[in-house]
């Protein structure tokens, strides 16, 4: 690879951009990553405030083998860059009537827990694991290949995997095959929210998410999930990659149907053989590419696409450590109504569902001794809703804190707050460059998946590639890592190269 020396520019140092950067730098490309923020990680970054350490976005790491593979492909061991810690029980789920369910990967304990709350339900769970395991094995290879053309989609492999996709039915309907109790079904379908979608709309394909959680576990990274992108940036630099922080790209340059480089905000033009866009897809199109250069992704068409919900975030430094698990979900008292309000609504829900992470029970490095860093996320409508956050913020903060004090065992929560940061959809849009503040990017409805999602090898121009949540296979960390692998591979293949031998072994 040494001889290749192709120059690649990457716009954005999120997990997608850094993943591709690592792979290409280790394969001998000259890679420059331009990141507008003074830090790496994008939505997978973190921040420190008054001695408390918070992850900005992701708190669940799944399918860890993909991250291991990325590091292996660049000739490294993940263990040398970060320490993963499995979280079990997976989470505490709090239902409308106050019952608490703690699913675990320990079979005997899980059986007892299910029989305690949902008598007779364990058999359905075993069937769920068996059937979904077979589907998962057939589906995973689909996540590893690009869907750059109909030819990719209309092949035998694709058709043979169609029955495993279950895309014709919702996640909620699909999991009814295994779980009849409505609360139990909720415990296996709320994961649609990881994609910012409703379980009643999210395609059944995504039953792979609860399956992955139960079969392969949920992980924390010591020091926070921000250590993932920090580790990637370190690996990239070790291979000679150039990371330019606080250096925003102003324009992606397109001439005669191909990308030729970028213009930075400081006016400098950086030429490249290939450009990879990691900035949020719709944001990048509308802000970094002149309208006359776009035929398929016009402003109008982008506005008409479907986007995930947004999130209201509270990051609290507390002078105490609550004795509650690492991951917690408080379901709205009327869950379906809340989900519909978020998906379709124009107003905020008075009865929210809330996820919170009490990571200090696992990771004392995040807060001073005896204290804790609490991360709170409430799904809310994205910016298409027109909600005036400057007016709503204070009242909604109260709704969230009241709910946690009343229903989640966080007694006197307000009195323990020593430091606080709030993020609304406005912040996601303005500070984090996320179109419509849709924190989980383009929605994953069937019309925006596979060949219908913006392609890894971007369809508008030559020498342009996409990575991250806005392209195939989708918006969680494991799929974002796959997008990095797919695009890096496509670039190398376009020059007659392949990723190293470790990759060949995986196929």
Bridge partners of residue 252, in order along the sequence? 262
State yes or no: residue 231 binds ligand FAD (CB under 6 A).
no
First-last CA distance in the chain: 21
Query: Residue 349 region, left (φ>0) first, then alpha (ψ -120 to 50), else beta?
Result: beta
State yes or no: residue 230 binds ligand FAD (CB under 6 A).
no
In the complex, the smallest distance separating the C-beta of residue 204 from ligand FAD, rounded to whole angstroms, is: 20
The candidate with the shortest Cα–Cα distance to 309, out of 279, 352, 350, 278, is 352
Which one of the spans 165-173, 334-342, 413-421, 433-441 is the region binding ligand FAD (CB under 6 A)? 433-441
Which one of the spans 5-13, 100-108, 209-217, 447-455 is the region binding ligand FAD (CB under 6 A)? 5-13
Contact at 8 Å (CB) between 164 and 143? no
In the complex, the smallest distance separating the C-beta of residue 107 from ligand FAD, rounded to whole angstroms, is: 25
State yes or no: residue 21 binds ligand FAD (CB under 6 A).
no
State yes or no: residue 37 binds ligand FAD (CB under 6 A).
yes
Pattern 88-127, ligand FAD, x by CB under 6 A: ----------------------------------------
Q: Which residues contact 171 (CB under 8 A, 6 or more apart)?
A: 189, 191, 192, 199, 200, 202, 203, 204, 206, 207
Q: Which CB atom, from 197 or from 279, has the smaller least distance to ligand FAD?
A: 279
Which one of the spans 71-79, 117-125, 276-284, 409-417 is the region binding ligand FAD (CB under 6 A)? 276-284
List the structure tokens of 29.
């490309």
In the complex, the smallest distance separating the C-beta of residue 181 from ligand FAD, rounded to whole angstroms, is: 26
Compute and round to an integer the Cα radius of gyration of the chain.
Answer: 22
Residue from the set 21, 29, 35, 436 that interacts with ligand FAD by CB under 6 A: 35
State yes or no: residue 236 binds ligand FAD (CB under 6 A).
no
Contact at 8 Å (CB) between 5 and 270? no
In the complex, the smallest distance separating the C-beta of residue 100 from ligand FAD, rounded to whole angstroms, is: 21
List the structure tokens of 269.
């033009």
State yes or no: residue 377 binds ligand FAD (CB under 6 A).
yes
In the complex, the smallest distance separating the C-beta of residue 37 from ligand FAD, rounded to whole angstroms, is: 5
In the complex, the smallest distance separating the C-beta of residue 4 from ligand FAD, rounded to whole angstroms, is: 25
Contact at 8 Å (CB) between 200 and 480? no
Compute the distance between CA of residue 73 and CA of residue 58 in angstroms, rounded to an integer.
Answer: 23
- β-strand pairing of 464-466 with 417-423: unpaired
Residue from the set 280, 363, 482, 503 that interacts with ligand FAD by CB under 6 A: 280
3-state SS assignment for residue 90: coil
Residue from the set 9, 20, 27, 34 that interacts with ligand FAD by CB under 6 A: 34
Compute the distance between CA of residue 14 and CA of residue 232 in angstroms, rounded to an integer.
Answer: 10
Residue nearest to ligand FAD (CB): 14
State yes or no: residue 488 binds ligand FAD (CB under 6 A).
no
* Other residues' Cβ atoms within 10 Å of the Cβ of residue 426: 16
Q: Which CB atom, from 179 or from 440, has the smaller least distance to ligand FAD?
A: 440
State yes or no: residue 453 binds ligand FAD (CB under 6 A).
no
Residues 302-361 contacting ligand FAD, CB under 6 A: 311
State yes or no: residue 190 binds ligand FAD (CB under 6 A).
no
Q: What is the DSSP string of 386-414?
A: ---HHHHHHHHHHHHHHHHHHHSS-TTGG
State yes or no: residue 468 binds ligand FAD (CB under 6 A).
yes
Strand order in the sheet with 249-255: 249-255, 258-264, 269-271
List the structure tokens of 460.
């508008």
Q: Which residues bind ligand FAD (CB under 6 A)?
A: 11-17, 34-37, 42-44, 57-60, 248-249, 278-280, 288, 311, 377, 433, 439-440, 468-469, 475-477, 480
């Amino acid at each position: 690879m040494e001889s290749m020396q192709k120059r690649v520019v990457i716009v954005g140092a999120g997990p997608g951009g850094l993943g591709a950067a690592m792979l290409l730098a280790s394969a001998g490309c000259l890679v420059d990553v331009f990141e507008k923020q003074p830090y790496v990680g994008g939505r997978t970054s973190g921040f420190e405030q008054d001695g408390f350490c918070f992850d900005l976005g992701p708190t669940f790491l799944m399918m860890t083998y993909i991250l291991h593979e990325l590091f292996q492909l660049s000739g490294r061991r993940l263990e040398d860059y970060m320490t993963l810690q499995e979280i079990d029980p997976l989470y505490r789920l709090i239902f409308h009537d106050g019952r608490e369910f703690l699913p675990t990967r320990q079979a005997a304990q899980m059986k007892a827990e299910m029989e305690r709350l949902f008598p007779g339900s364990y058999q359905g769970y075993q069937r769920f694991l068996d059937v979904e395991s077979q589907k998962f094995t057939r589906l995973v290879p689909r996540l590893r290949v690009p869907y750059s053309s109909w030819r990719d989609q209309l092949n035998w492999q694709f058709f043979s995997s169609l029955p495993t996709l279950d895309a014709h039915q919702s996640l909620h309907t699909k999991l009814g095959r295994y779980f009849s109790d409505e609360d139990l079904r909720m415990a296996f379908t709320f994961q649609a929210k990881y994609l910012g979608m409703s379980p009643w709309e999210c395609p059944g394909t995504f039953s792979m998410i609860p399956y992955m959680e139960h079969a392969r576990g949920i992980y924390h990274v010591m020091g926070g999930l921000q250590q993932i992108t920090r580790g990637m940036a370190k690996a990239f630099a070790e291979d000679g990659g150039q990371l330019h922080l606080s250096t925003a790209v102003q324009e992606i340059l397109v001439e005669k149907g191909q990308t030729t480089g970028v213009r930075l905000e400081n006016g400098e033009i950086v030429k490249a053989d290939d450009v990879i866009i990691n900035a949020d897809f719709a944001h990048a199109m509308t802000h970094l590419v002149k309208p006359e250069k776009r035929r398929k992704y016009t402003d109008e068409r982008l506005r008409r696409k479907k986007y995930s919900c947004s999130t209201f975030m509270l990051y609290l430094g507390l002078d105490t450590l609550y004795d509650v698990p690492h991951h917690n979900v408080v379901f709205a008292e009327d869950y379906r109504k809340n989900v519909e309000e978020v998906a379709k609504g124009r107003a905020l829900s008075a009865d929210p569902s809330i996820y919170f992470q009490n990571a200090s029970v696992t990771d004392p490095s995040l807060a001073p001794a005896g204290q804790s860093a609490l991360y709170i996320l409430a799904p809310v409508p994205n910016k298409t809703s027109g909600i005036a956050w400057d007016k709503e913020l204070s009242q909604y903060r109260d709704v969230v804190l009241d709910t946690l004090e009343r229903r989640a065992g966080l007694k006197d929560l307000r009195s323990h707050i020593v430091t606080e940061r709030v993020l609304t959809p406005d912040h996601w849009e303005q500070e984090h460059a996320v179109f419509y503040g849709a924190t989980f990017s383009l929605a994953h409805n069937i019309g925006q998946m596979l060949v219908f999602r913006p392609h890894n090898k971007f369809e508008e121009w030559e020498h342009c590639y996409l990575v991250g949540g806005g392209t195939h296979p989708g918006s969680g960390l494991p799929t974002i890592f796959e997008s990095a692998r797919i695009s890096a591979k496509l670039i190398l293949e376009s020059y007659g190269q392949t990723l190293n031998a470790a990759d060949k072994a995986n196929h």
